[in-house]
Structure 1
């Protein structure tokens, strides 16, 4: 689907006064500056997937590092394992960014989704006043009615040989009857003090710029940059008994005891084995 610019008129889509469109002029003024990371910000009214669009642009030489693509609505948004991510128009933040950390060894690029999680959580804590936690490797959790709910996710995709596109989806104003599944949540349902998407997006992107700068300056070293410590501090998975559903229909149950230097989740199993998990679905079973 071809993305359309958010400034195009479509009366039916602007009827919800509780969900005004993003202010592209203010976003550009607040984010794009000389010497900064963000080279351009584009907002489209509707598209299939901002990640797919930005990967294609990068492959065609139409995007440079720091490009930010935001959609007011995604019709084919994807999470991990090709799961769909859907939400009403203007009810959340759905965006992708292009990064080209050329001087960082590719072996350390696996930390970028975790870095984005730390940055998003920090940005939302400041701008929305809501407590968030990270579920390894890339889910953003909030508390709704005393229950842990997923309010956001992160998806990283390679873009050519030297780029990576990071996609972020955050439920902002979804009401209870709009949630796609009972285990989902939103910032509004978690009691956010602000659900104005403009300052939320600016806060998240400024936080991402700050953390990416630290990580890059450290050559991608997660310890030197402070990323490893920050991720462990905000990770709700650590200390929990979890089930890791791994590729090849294999599952491992154990206590999540650490995130190692490669960003993998280390599980201590009942057999006394410590097993690092680099990819897979994690199910929180109960507190440790």
Structure 2
């Protein structure tokens, strides 16, 4: 693991900009040195006509945003913070699947790289019980139609003392070795593009297949959980599955409840 932050190599702009279509199809990568938010820049580019598959990745993001407008910042060269512009052609009712689809793709890519990852509903990726990646999806209206900006923050090279909270981890902490961020980025984008294209082409049966695949990777399913709701109340019960709309299925004292990602503040393992 790199001990000197100044020695951390930058992303290879030439290598990433020149990726062959058979490596990551229909993706164009722009590497920038520093921005307040890759999502904000991707939104700007989407309004300017950026095509489906445009990606901006930053060496340093100074004002990153997560769900519920939480903010965060990572040391330079230690993370992958990127945003992708997508222009889905699927019906609007299917768009809630995007954050889950993204989390599933990140999880799948990390597993392929040898990490013991899992998804936490609705939009986190874990290694063990610690968060290694978060996801933020924004829907925007552009002159060329609606678009989605898919933002991902993945902790790659952070040391233990650089992690923002005790419940976070990084690929370096998890494995003891700091991986090449270029390799990780290509793996994640390739898997995300593959999953997205399959989702686009899958028709009405896609939700059911995604629900089954996501549930198999989801560490939340099978847990006793506490779901904190916006009105201050909480739902407790056992998470038993994911429905075809991407909602978490919770079996509680009052029966079965279907919880949408946009309707919750937190989902945590219930206290034993």
**Structure-1-length-normalised TM-score:** 0.86
- Please give the alpha-carbon distance, in whole angstroms, between the structure 2 residues aligned to 1:48 and 1:32: 30
How far apart, in 1, do the equivalents of 2:188 and 2:24 lie? 18
Structure 1 residue 223 displacement after superposition: 4.3
Q: Which residue of structure 2 lines up, in the alignment, with residue 276 of structure 1? A: 258
Kept after mapping to 1: 8 A contact 2:24/2:193? no
| 1:48 aligned to which of 19, 25, 36 | 36
Secondary structure at 1:238 match in 2: coil
Task: Please say if residues 31 and 206 of structure 1, whose CA atoms lie closer than 8 Å, have aligned partners that are also in contact.
Answer: no
Paired residue for 1:73? 60
Aligned to 2:203, what secondary structure does the other structure show? Answer: coil
Q: 2:136 aligns with which of 155, 171, 175?
A: 155
State the alpha-carbon separation in 2 of the partners of residues 106 and 174 from structure 1.
38
SS in 2 for 1:16: helix
**Partners of 2:226 and 2:268 within 8 A in 1:** yes
User: Per-residue deviation at 1:76?
Assistant: 0.6
Asked if the contact 2:5/2:77 (under 8 Å) is kept, the reply is: no
Give the 3 Å change call, closer, same or farther, for CA 131–168 of structure 1 in structure 2: same
The structure 1 segments of at least 4 consecutive aligned residues displaced by more than 3 Å after TM superposition are 31-35
Paired residues of 1:28 and 1:41 also in contact (CA < 8 A): yes
* Uncovered stretches (5+) of structure 2, i.e. residues with no partner: none
The equivalent position to 2:99 in structure 1, one of 89, 108, 113, is 113
CA distance in 2, matches of 1:170, 1:118: 13
Instruction: For residues 75-115 of structure 1, give each alpha carbon's deviation from its aligned partner in whole angstroms, at most 9, with x where no partner exists.
Output: 1101101111211011010000011112x111001111111
From 26, 34, 39, the counterpart of 1:37: 26
Change in Cα spacing, 1:59 to 1:220, as seen in structure 2 (3 Å) is farther
Matched, 1:90 2:77: yes
Give the Cα separation in 2 of the matches to 1:178 and 1:15: 10
> TM-score, normalised on structure 2?
0.91
Q: Quickly say closer, same or farther: Cα 1:234–1:35, change in 2 above 3 A.
A: closer
Structure 1 regions of 5+ residues with no counterpart?
1-13
Alignment size in residue pairs: 263
**Comparing both structures, which one devotes a greater share of its residues to helix?**
2
Match of 1:219 among 190, 203, 214: 203
1:140 is aligned to 125
1:189-212 Cα shifts (integer Å, max 9, x gaps): 111666110010000000011111
1:260 is aligned to 2:250: no
Alpha-carbon offset, residue 285 of structure 1: 2.4
Equivalence for 1:239: 222
Equivalent residue of 2:173, what SS? coil
Q: 1:200 aligned to 172, 176, 184, which one?
A: 184
Counterpart-to-counterpart distance in 1, 2:182 and 2:218:
26
Say which of 74, 83, 86 aligns to 1:99: 86
Q: CA deviation at 1:55?
A: 1.0
Asked if structure 2 preserves the Cα contact closer than 8 Å seen for 1:215 and 1:221, the reply is: no
Partner of 2:115: 130
